[in-house]
Structure formats: structure tokens, C-alpha cells
Structure 1
Amino acid sequence: MNVPEGVAMTARTDGPGRGLPRTGGAGVDVGGTKAHMRYPDPRTGEVRSVETRCERYDSLDDLLSDCFRLAGCVPRALVAGVAGRVLPDGDVHVTNRPAWPVFRRAAFAAAHGVDVAVVNDLVATAMGAGELDGNGYRALLPDVPRLGGAARAVVAVGTGVGAAVVDADGAVRSSEAGHVSWQPVTDDEEALLRFVRASAGGPVVTVEQVLGGLAGFGHLYDFLSTRRDAGPGLRERVAERIASGGELGPVLTAAAGAGDGFARELLSLYGGILGQFLRDLLLVSHPEGAEVWLGGSVLQAPGIGELLVSDTPFRERMVCRGAQHADMLGRVPVLLITDRHVAAKGAFARSRSGM
């Protein structure tokens, strides 16, 4: 699928990339907020990247076409890791871009003369995590030794919540685990469930509705605000973020990192729910020997991973001592992916290995 380094060909397409030079395989990560594409320079072979924001486009077709324009070349093969449920024919709807039409893989491929494969963005993240060196992640539980096998559960929290699992033989399986029903455990969580159900409606309250950077943090902030005052400074920052159409996750994680009492209480509630979600995911997907890899903009915010471990019931709820299999869960390492482009790197690696 790759052109030789230093060789530039001209794209033969009637689409927006007409006349641009050809390059080899490219990988793109498309979330609900932004997209990042990696590709080899068509003349030198040097790996380059472009990034853009999803809000600028009316469809995934437009976004990918513009990535080609920004890169100044059209790949011969493209692997797209997309935050959405991928259908058997590769069509996909970006979950947190509901106004976008369904992306039709075959039609886009034909219009641009590109071999296109579409995977869930967490599949791309899981593939990329397996390629990281020690500079791309750090251990959140340094007292728990690494297990050394391939098995892992990969969870990313950004605009939404995504998860994929890697079997012991290295096979990657996608999931829609962020959309499973959330089950409260504590009295505070039961009150949160009633609050979210009343405000959001719908037949179920999902994990994403209480953990995601968009809906989750909005619900947590509104719920906690019924119990205590957020304070004028935080209220103002939240109001500005809402007015601009942005997610509350970055505002509230930054406030928690700075020691804000309201934000720390919110993070404590958040950490318990996240720990419980990981416990459920591990028990369903891996009976023994797995590691947890965490990523996404919410969990990668400065200091948040360490705060989750030190100042919230995150680990307590993940292990759940006294319940079945607590011994196994207590041996599970938790690693935080610090490389923010891991999904694009995973997609890029797959594009260069024959799709």
C-alpha cells in the first residue's frame, strides 16, 4: 500500500483532492471535538501530521477531504479511527456529531481513489497503545507490577466514553461499552441517577452520561450545584464555557487540579463511578491477566490521573474488596496514556501493514 520514500505521484480523482500528489498509507483519529491525521511526506517519506476541529465541518466526508488539503497530498490508503459504531460495510455515524450524515465508506473511497478502512477510534487507540515506548504512558499504581502480556482493556474519556479490549493473543475487539446502562452503588449515586434521568430523559442512563466530557461533566456539575455552591469564580468559568459551546470537562478538571473544593468533590464522585465501570469491563472481558490503559483528554488533563488514585474511591471501587474476584482485580495495573496522538498512530501503523 505504500509508495517508495521520495516518490510523489499525482492523485487521479475527480474529488476535492484532484491534482494533489499521492502518498502512502495515512491514519486519522476522528473524535467528537477534533481530528488528527498522520501521513508520510510524498517526497521525503518523513512522517507529518495535520489537525483540525470537527466543528468546522458539516460531515466526516468534508473533514477528511480537508485533511487531504491541509496535508497537501492524498493517501493511497487511509485507516480512519472514528468515534462511532462502525457498520459491517465500514459506514459510520460519528456519535457526538449527531447532525452529520452517515459516512459512506465505499462512496468516499471511490470519489478520492483511496483504499479506506474504518475502525472504531478505541480500536485505533488500542493498536497504538501496543506500539508505545516508556515515554508514551505512565503507571498510576506504581505498587502494582506490570503483567507483561498483550491482554488489556483500553478506555478513553474525551467528549464521550469509549472502550476496546485486546485479547491475550493480541486481537483487538471494539465495543460500545460507554453506552451500557449505569448502575449506581451509593446513596449519592442513586440521587445522581434520578437527577440525570429527570433532566436527560430516555429509557436508560448510560455510563457516558455520567463520565463523558460533554454530557457527563455537565450532569455532575448541575447535580452537585443543587447541593452546594460552586463559588463565583468557578460558576463564571463554567458559564463562559457553556456560552461558547464547549465541554465542561477541561474547566472542571483544571479546577480540581488547582484545589477547588467543589471540583474536588465532583472528581471524587467521578472517580468512584469510573472505578466501578472498569471493574465491570474487566470482569466481562478478561478473567485474568489484563492491564487497564486509560486515555482521552479528560483523563490526560494535568494531574487528574494521580488525583483519581489518591483523592477518590477510584481504586477501591475498581477492586471492590469483599466482592468476588477482588484478588484478581487488585493485581491489575493501571496505566495512563500520555501520548495524545496514540489513536492516529495506531491507525497509521495499520495503514502501513496492509490494512
Structure 2
Amino acid sequence: MPHISRERIIGLPRTEMAGIDAGGTKTHMRFLDPVTGEIRHVQARSADYDSLEHLFYGCFDMAGCLPRSLVAGVAGRPGRDGDVRITNHPQWPTFRRRAFATDLEMSLVTINDMVATTAGVADLDESDWVALTPDVAPHPGPALLAVSVGTGVGSASVDREGQAHPAESGHIAWQPVTVLEEEYLRSLQRLRPGIPISVELSIGGLRGIDHMYDFMTTRKKPGPYIQEHVDRFRREHRGIGPVITAAAVGGDACCREIMRLFGAILGQFLRSNVLMCMSEGGSVWLTSGVLQAPGVCDLLISDTAFLERFIATGAEHAELMQEIPLFAVTDRQVAVRGAFALTRQAAEQEPAVLH
């Protein structure tokens, strides 16, 4: 675990602004080079650190500069004072925003990482996304829902006035539709008796994909070498998602079944989110992690019940779902791009906003 002293950090040259996307697995920092003024980027492995404070130190050290203004999107739920913990690193101490900012003489705002993602979506151009439902007309106005399935599962929405709203939607429960889904849910209930089984626990990258793999391999044997790769990833404390998605895209029958289960639960999850926060229409953007693995979104559309569950013909408001365009974001840095854009916007509009 790298040890970077406060003295080293405060001795770094200053840059005017930066954005950070701090996730459970990876953390990205986008910043202005203090010498050339160019936009640059560094990446850290979150698990290499023991706190959000030290993770930020690591980003500053790799960047070789200390920002005066920073917006940090964090995979957690910031309180009113900006203090926050990364959800999937519960052993880390709570990050104290004001004390950190005061100590380093910087303007610092902490936001939910999915709010940063919505800002990043607004900053994309047509080369940064793919339409998953090209026959559905784009929706006018800023209303959108951004959804991520990475280490965890999360979303945030933007309303018709352009105001972003964070959510902890990955922790809501889901409803099985098929016998297979009911059996899967029961297997999770045996693991976690007495608590609601969340979407994140069921399909998220930290635990959900492991749960789906262990459940499905009792019914269908994976192809040669897949179990070997899964065992190696688990020994190395790495998420097995890349193994499963690559094998599914490659045609492995067991991993295809896993992705069919994944797609059905994800489609239902998106539908529930749209009904809760975008009932007047908008667009849905799939971002990060599992959803950006090569071939996954194509597989969701062509070989799973993803769209069927999203629209849910025969259920209430299926006509609304048919009018919602779906997009897959291909820019893997959309969240840090959004955090940087928010820092820049605040600096341009009113520097005193960041405190």
C-alpha cells in the first residue's frame, strides 16, 4: 500500500482545477496540466489505499500537482456537509470534506459518482455513445437517467429543468418473473436471510456476478478453462466479470445463461427507475463497468430479455417505455469527465460556489 505524506502533497505545484471519479475498483482524475494547460488524466487502483484521503493523495501524486478547485464524484452517499464513505469499502474511515479542503487550501465539493456521470453524459458527442434502440426518436430536453453496473449498481437522473438527482437505486429489491429467477432469488435469500435482496447483490460486479456464476454452474457446466480463470481471478481478489462477459460473447452456453439472467434483472431495474424518476419521458444511458465490456450491450439486445423486461408489454405504462431511447456510453471516463466539467462550470460561473 503506497504511503504518501501530507508534506509531499502540499509541496506539489498547483493546478487550477481537477475532477475525480472515485469508485470501488478504480479511481480517475482529470486535471489541467499546471505547465502546459492541457487536460490530462491519471488512474489509481482504489484497493491499493486504506482511505479516501490517501486515495486522493495518490491521485495528486501521480498527477504531479495539487488542484485549487476539485469536484469529486464518489461511489457513496455524501452527507449535507460533504462527508462521505465509499460504499464498497466500508472499512475505510469517513472522509471529512471540510477538514481535508481546509488543510490543503482547496475548494472541494463531493457528489455522488452517478451525478458526475450525468454531467459527463451531457458533455458527450456522437462518437462517445451507441444507440441501442435506433428506431426510437431522441427525446427533446435534458431529462435523462444514467445507470451503471460496475463494482456496484447505481443511477442518477436529470429532470426537465436540468437538475441532477442522485439515488441509491442499486439497493432496491427486484421481483422474479420466471421459475429460474425465483430459484436464483431463493438462493440469495438463503445466503442473506431476513433482508431484502437488492439488484446490486444480484447483478453487481462485486458480488452479484459471483452469485450468478455459482448459481448457474449448478445447472450448466461452463466450458473448458472458464472455471480455471474464475478460480485464478478469485485468488487474486479480482472481479470475475471480465471472464464471464468475454466467455458469454464468445458463445459459452453457461455464461450466456448468466447474461440472460443479468439482462432480465437489469431490464426490470431500468423500467422501475424510469417509472420513479422519468415518467414524463427522457433517455436512458448505460455506463461503465460490465456494460462497457466488449460485446455486452449487443448481447443484451440480441440474446436476452433485457428489452422485453424494460418495455413489459401488457404492464402499466408500456407505451412510455416504448418512447424511451436507450444508449450505451463508450467513453470509459464519462464520470471523471463530468466531475471535471462541473469544476470548470463552477469556476467560470462563481468561484465562491466551491467551498
Query: Shorter chain as normaliser: what TM range?
Result: over 0.9
Per the normalisation by structure 2, the TM-score is 0.94
Matched, 1:93 2:85: yes
Between Structure 1 and Structure 2, how many residues are aligned? Answer: 343
CA contact (8 A) 2:73 2:110 kept: yes
Residue identity in the other structure for 1:224: M
**Relative to 1, partners in 2 of residues 1:148 and 1:234: Cα closer, same or farther, differing over 3 Å?**
same
Matched, 1:119 2:111: yes
- Partner Cα separation in structure 2 for residue 98 and residue 14 of structure 1: 24
Which residue number in structure 2 is paired with residue 44 of structure 1? 36
> 1:141 offset after TM fit, Å?
1.2
Matched, 1:238 2:227: no
- Partner Cα separation in structure 1 for residue 58 and residue 235 of structure 2: 27
Residue identity in the other structure for 2:42: V
Which residue number in structure 2 is paired with residue 207 of structure 1? 199
CA contact (8 A) 1:16 1:65 kept: no
> 1:114 offset after TM fit, Å?
1.2
CA contact (8 A) 1:157 1:297 kept: yes
In the TM superposition, 1:1-355 aligns within 5 A as: 15-201=7-193, 203-354=195-346, 355=354
Root-mean-square deviation (Å) = 1.3
CA contact (8 A) 1:192 1:223 kept: yes
**Relative to 1, partners in 2 of residues 1:202 and 1:49: Cα closer, same or farther, differing over 3 Å?**
farther
- Partner Cα separation in structure 1 for residue 69 and residue 180 of structure 2: 49
- Partner Cα separation in structure 2 for residue 152 and residue 80 of structure 1: 21
> 1:202 offset after TM fit, Å?
5.3
- Partner Cα separation in structure 2 for residue 270 and residue 343 of structure 1: 23
> 1:272 offset after TM fit, Å?
0.6
The structure carrying a bigger helix percent of its residues is 2
> 1:201 offset after TM fit, Å?
3.9
- Partner Cα separation in structure 2 for residue 131 and residue 289 of structure 1: 20
Which deviates further from its counterpart, 284-293 or 305-314? Answer: 284-293
Give the match's secondary structure for 2:72: strand
- Partner Cα separation in structure 2 for residue 300 and residue 313 of structure 1: 19
Per the normalisation by structure 1, the TM-score is 0.94
- Partner Cα separation in structure 2 for residue 213 and residue 231 of structure 1: 21
| Structure 1 unmatched ranges of 5 or more | 1-12
Map Cα deviations across residues 33-81 of structure 1 (whole Å, 9 max, x no partner). 0111011011221111111101110101001011111111110011100
- Partner Cα separation in structure 2 for residue 284 and residue 230 of structure 1: 38
CA contact (8 A) 1:14 1:111 kept: no
Q: How many percent identity over aligned positions?
A: 49
Give the match's secondary structure for 1:250: helix
> 1:148 offset after TM fit, Å?
2.8
Where has structure 1 moved over 6 Å in runs of 4 or more? none
